[in-house]
Amino acid sequence: MESTDVTTLTISSRNYSSWSMRGWLLARLSGLEFETVMVPIDAASRAELLLLSPSILVPCLTHEGIKVWDTLAIAEYLNETRPQARLLPQDRHARAHCRAICGEMHSGFSALRSALPMNLRAHFPNFRIWSRAQLDIARIVAVWRECLARYGGPWLFGEISVADAMYAPVVTRFLTYDVKLDPDIADYCMRVLTHPFVAEWIEAAKAEKEDIDGVLSGSENERRAGHASGTLRRISGDSGRRPDETFLVA
């Protein structure tokens, strides 16, 4: 019989998997003690990371013999079992609003996902963003701006919540691809990036060696593949400025 003593969160790549990042942040914000189980980038997880198969079951939380996958399901489960963490707002109207924008993140913004895939080790200066992705970016910025104005900040619903965890990977995308942001939105993004849990995730992502294209990073990649230095910078993220330094302000 499977032991129910150990709580685990199964995730995929920290560098590439935005859903793993969301699930992990939610678990950390809840205060739940858990062990992280990493699954390697195999054909299935590589497909998920490349948006070919959204049904891969990571992250997956195992707690007291219960398995919960899908990030929103994990969020609701943690809110129910760890109410003291207040992952969802206490006010009914704000709670409904929070669920709505989290659902929008969960099921929408497909153009952003495909055009700007998460890659925490990379930086692509002067990246050209196609029009449909720009529309997604504009919608996300509008959502953030409305929440910050309505609930007074510093997080989307005043206190940090499920919503901030759900949109945290988008913040990293804006940095990776040099998305121009207004100062107020850049300030919110920096607040997300400097949160201790987000900073911890990013630091661990930078230490990963796996690459979805099977290309090694750094000097080992250069030695074995002999790629041009410009290509290496695009793969490894060694592109001059650190991806966590600053946002491009419009």
Residue spans per domain, the chain: 8-85
Q: What is the CATH code of the structural domain delimited by 8-85?
A: 3.40.30.10
Percent residues over pLDDT 90 in the chain? 72
Question: Which tens digit of pLDDT belongs to each residue from 203-213?
Answer: 999 998 877 65
Q: Pseudo-torsion of CA 217, 28, 145, 135, nearest 10°? A: 40
Per the CB < 8 A criterion, the answer to whether 121 and 221 are in contact is: no
pLDDT per position as a tens digit, 53-99: 445 678 999 999 999 999 999 999 999 999 999 999 999 999 999 99
CA distance 207 to 199: 13
Q: What is the dihedral of CA 141, 168, 86, 92, to 10 degrees?
A: 30
